[in-house]
Amino acid sequence: MPQQFEQAHPQQTSSDIEETILTSSQETQDQSDVLDDILDDIESTLETNAEEYVNSFVQKGGE
């Protein structure tokens, strides 16, 4: 997708957004294949100790 960085704004044109979205939803590629690839990508994440990972995240305060 071409970007127009010489412009003052980092935007895509509206037709760019439309195009991105239309192409992505019209994809005919087998979605389950892609999802399989993604699950392969993250396989190693799931090999760590999930309980420990989740419980390590305790935050105080905020807002």
Q: Which residues bind other proteins (CB under 8 A)?
A: 1, 3, 5, 8-14, 17-18, 20-21, 24-25, 27, 31-32, 34-39, 41-42, 45-46, 48, 50-63
- The distance of Cα 44 from the centroid of its chain, to the nearest Å, equals 18
Minimum distance, C-beta of residue 57 to other proteins, in the bound complex (Å)? 4
Tell me, what amino acid is at 23? T
Please state, in angstroms and rounded to a whole number, the distance separating the CA atoms of residues 46 and 1: 33
